[in-house]
Every structure is written in structure tokens, then in C-alpha cells.
């Protein structure tokens, strides 16, 4: 799916504030520092919790293998200026011939500064520019408003909700599914408001969400 250009570890993307580059062995401590946090892991399908020793090394090895095989583009997010520890990860993985699924996570100390949106926007542009993908998909746990907002800002459309298998969470969990069609991809896309989340529609007031400190709140 991905071209030779992205299959070499010199490949990197630049945004206004960020570098997106292949993860490397020396990133393991920085990745483990945020991937091990419950408020990060529990919103994802694939980050185990508790985070086992050497898990970041395993992730980096697998990510590099998938990148070099052209099956995916797993990138570490760092700032362009100042200290440059990895502040997040963004992945685009082929799902068949014409579909790419994206995933992302950032460190809580970096939340709310637009970094995830900036990084994912660049990956979307790259996927549509460099591959034949017809659409990009994303899944979000149904009580993850931050992820939903990132997708909303990037022009994704809500598809439906249902129970999805989240390997690292064990079993099936309520998730919302989103899609961005190539035809709807615009650099200057108007933000389309997504429909309310399920608990908002139903008037349920007790869905807990985590803040960056990892404390659970009612929303
Ligand atoms: C989802 C995540 C990547 C967002 O990272 P980020 O760098 O803070 O994202 P951005 O700053 O680009 O955008 C976040 C948006 O969500 C909004 N948001 C955050 N928490 C929210 C909440 N509880 N309710 C509603 N909106 C919320 C922010 O205000 C911001 O929107 P705005 O720009 O309109 O103000 C980050 O929270 C994270 O890593 N979470 C854990 C892992 C995860 O959920 N990954 C996605 C799996 S699908």
C-alpha cells in the first residue's frame, strides 16, 4: 500500500511545530512513559495495561518492520524546537487494498495544544497524496470526546456505533466509527459538526472521562 518513499527510515514529515519520523530504539523510554499511563492506554485498542517491561522495544521493532514492508506508517511525534522527546505516536495501517485505518496517542502533558490534530492532519494528507487509498477510517471508544473532537476537526464523518474488539482491552467495547473519503478530503475543509455522542443523545450523565492527571470525572 505505502510507496518506497515511506519504507526507508530517513522518511520524515514536517508540520508547523512537529517532526513525524520513524520510531527508533532510543525512543523506548519516552514512549513507555506515556503509553503506560491508564488514561492513555484505556482509550486505545492496542496499548496493554499494565504496560509490560520491554513493550516499547517490541512496539518499535514491529513498527519499523511494518513501515519497511509498506504495510503501515507508524510515526513518532516530536517537537521541532527545544527538547525533542517523543510526545506521541500516529499510525496509518493498510486495511485491504483501498482502506487505511489511523490511530494516535499523545502524552498527557501535551494534551489540548493541537498536537494530535496537527500530526494526524499531516498523516491524512500523506496517505491521500502517496497511496491509492479511497478512504481513511478511525474508531474511537464511545466515551472518548477528545479523540472524537480530533476527528471532527479533521473532517471525518460519523458512520455508526457498535461493539468492536479491542485486543488490549479484552473483548468487545462500545465504539464509534468514523470515515474520511478521498472525495471529501480538503486541505481547507470546513469542520463538519459530528452528531452528539451516545450518552449525550440519551441524556446519560455518568460516563466517566479521564483528565490528563488520570482522574476520572463524570461528564
Ligand atoms: C485523543 C488525543 C490523542 C488528543 O490529543 P491532543 O493533542 O490533546 O489533541 P488536540 O489538542 O489536537 O485536540 C483535542 C481536542 O479535544 C478537545 N477535548 C479534550 N478533552 C475533551 C473532553 N473531555 N470533552 C470534549 N472535548 C475535549 C480539546 O478541547 C480539543 O478540541 P479544540 O481544539 O476544539 O479545543 C489524546 O487525548 C490521547 O492521546 N488520548 C489517549 C489515547 C487516545 O484516546 N487515542 C485515540 C484512540 S481512538
Query: pTM for this structure?
Result: 0.90
Q: Pocket around ligand 1: residues whose beta carbon is below 6 Å from it?
A: 40, 43-44, 103-106, 110-117, 140, 144-147, 149-150, 209
Quick check: 115 and 106 in contact, CB under 8 A?
yes
Q: Which residue in the block uniquely carries the three cell numbers 477510517? A: 137
* Alpha-carbon span 174 to 207, nearest angstrom: 12
Which atom, in ligand 1's list, is nearest to the CA of 34?
Answer: 39
Q: pLDDT for 101-122, tens place per residue? A: 999 999 999 999 999 999 999 9
Quick check: 142 and 161 in contact, CB under 8 A?
yes
Q: pLDDT for 54-86, tens place per residue? A: 999 999 999 999 999 999 999 999 999 887 899
Residue nearest to atom 39 of ligand 1 (CA): 105
CA of 114 to the centre of ligand 1 (A): 8
Domains (ranges, CATH) in the chain?
A: 4-218 (3.40.630.30)
Amino acid at each position: 500500500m505505502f510507496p518506497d518513499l515511506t519504507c526507508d527510515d530517513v522518511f520524515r514529515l514536517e508540520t508547523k511545530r512537529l517532526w513525524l519520523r520513524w520510531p527508533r530504539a532510543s525512543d523506548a523510554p519516552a514512549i513507555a512513559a506515556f503509553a503506560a499511563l491508564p488514561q492513555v492506554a484505556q482509550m486505545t485498542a492496542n496499548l496493554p495495561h499494565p504496560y509490560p517491561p520491554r513493550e516499547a522495544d517490541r512496539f518499535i521493532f514491529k513498527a519499523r518492520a511494518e513501515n519497511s514492508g509498506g504495510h503501515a506508517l507508524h510515526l513518532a511525534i516530536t517537537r521541532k524546537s527545544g527538547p525533542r522527546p517523543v510526545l506521541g505516536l500516529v499510525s496509518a495501517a493498510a486495511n485491504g487494498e483501498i482502506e487505511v485505518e489511523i490511530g494516535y496517542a499523545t502524552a498527557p502533558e501535551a494534551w489540548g495544544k493541537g498536537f494530535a490534530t496537527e500530526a494526524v492532519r499531516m498523516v491524512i494528507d500523506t496517505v491521500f497524496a502517496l497511496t491509492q487509498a479511497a478512504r481513511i477510517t478511525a474508531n474511537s471508544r464511545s466515551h472518548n470526546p477528545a479523540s472524537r473532537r480530533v476527528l471532527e476537526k479533521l473532517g471525518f464523518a460519523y458512520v455508526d456505533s457498535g461493539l468492536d474488539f479491542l485486543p488490549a482491552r479484552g473483548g468487545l467495547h462500545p465504539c464509534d466509527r468514523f470515515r474520511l473519503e478521498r472525495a471529501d478530503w480538503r486541505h481547507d475543509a470546513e469542520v463538519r459538526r459530528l452528531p452528539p455522542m451516545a450518552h449525550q443523545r440519551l441524556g446519560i450523565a455518568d460516563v466517566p472521562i479521564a483528565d490528563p492527571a488520570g482522574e476520572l470525572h463524570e461528564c
